[in-house]
Chain A
């Protein structure tokens, strides 16, 4: 089927585990994020021009692409750092307002966030976000609930956002029972 007319049925492909690395410059305060595919996450402090970078967090996650099972079209998601569930921490945030609006319909809002600094890194296009949303809704086998995925641009202050990020960090339960 021609890719232009195909009613795509999406699947995950090229799934690669890696580490989401967050670094902060101790000289300028700038924060950057990227994904590392090395066996162990980077830990060392390093200098890059005017910056002195220190790792402040690493988290295991995955990188993936989507592929249409019908026509074979592939959509890469190099720009996607992760997905996070809106928990309604900020009354004024547009994402929160959307979540409150959609909650009665059991439509849950996730934010697709890209790498930082946002102004320097390529970010997800609206089309890619829409395809991602379609994929996760196609994956559900009932209409009991739906997923809405939005851009991080709708978040009022990403630095203060308390959305629940899907990543493997801070999961250690120190309790024994």
Chain B
């Protein structure tokens, strides 16, 4: 599924530079070590974490995009680092559970 389709359907806010990505799954976690061990490439990663090292983790496992949930504010230095490494960061005011339900409805089955 194209990332832009997900962004439009879920009304996600784009915080970084965008590029075309194909999304094949969803991963929900707030622990970077867990993402490093278990997240699949080309996944959308839902998290409340906003520290710069989410870029490091997302980049390592080739996450399609990071969605910061609950309306958490992403600091400028995280966004700057994400742009340097072509990591896409999106934002939503909704919690992970609500977004997960919408993603399943869109066709991203668990």
Question: Number of contacting residues on B, CB 8 A?
Answer: 30
Question: Number of contacting residues on A, CB 8 A?
Answer: 32
Q: Roughly how many angstroms separate A61 CA and B48 CA in the complex, as a whole number?
A: 18
Which residues from chain B contact A105 at a C-beta distance below 8 Å? Answer: none
Which of A166, A171, A175 meets B73, CB within 8 Å?
A175
Q: Would A60 and B73 be within 8 Å (CB), given that A165-B53, A167-B53 are in contact?
A: no
Interface contact B62-A166, CB-CB below 8 Å: no
B88 to chain A, nearest CB (A): 12
Which of A64, A110, A140 meets B37, CB within 8 Å?
A64
Interface contact B37-A15, CB-CB below 8 Å: yes
* Contact of B92 with A by CB under 8 A: no
Count, A-B residue pairs, CB within 8 A: 87
The interface residues of chain B, by DSSP majority, are classed as: loop
* Contact of A74 with B by CB under 8 A: no
Task: Give chain B interface residues in 37-82, CB to chain A under 8 Å.
Answer: 37, 41-42, 48-53, 55-57, 59-62, 71-73, 81
Which residues from chain A contact B71 at a C-beta distance below 8 Å? Answer: 177
Which residues from chain A contact B61 at a C-beta distance below 8 Å? Answer: 136, 139-140
Interface contact A164-B53, CB-CB below 8 Å: yes
Q: Roughly how many angstroms separate A139 CA and B49 CA in the complex, as a whole number?
A: 23
Q: Would A141 and B42 be within 8 Å (CB), given that A61-B33, A166-B36, A175-B73 are in contact?
A: yes
Which residues from chain A contact B55 at a C-beta distance below 8 Å? Answer: 85, 164
Q: Chain A CB within 10 Å — which of B32, B41, B72, B86 has the most?
A: B32
Task: Give chain A interface residues in 150-177, CB to chain B under 8 Å.
Answer: 164-168, 170-171, 173, 175, 177
Shortest Cβ distance from A61 into B: residue: B33
Interface contact A166-B53, CB-CB below 8 Å: yes
Q: Roughly how many angstroms separate A133 CA and B42 CA in the complex, as a whole number?
A: 18
Shortest Cβ distance from B72 into A: residue: A173
17 A-B residue contacts at CB 8 Å? Answer: A12-B37, A15-B37, A64-B37, A85-B56, A108-B60, A141-B62, A142-B62, A145-B62, A164-B52, A164-B56, A166-B56, A167-B53, A170-B51, A171-B30, A173-B50, A173-B72, A175-B72
**CB within 8 Å of A: which residues of B?**
24, 30-34, 36-37, 41-42, 48-53, 55-57, 59-62, 71-73, 81, 84-86
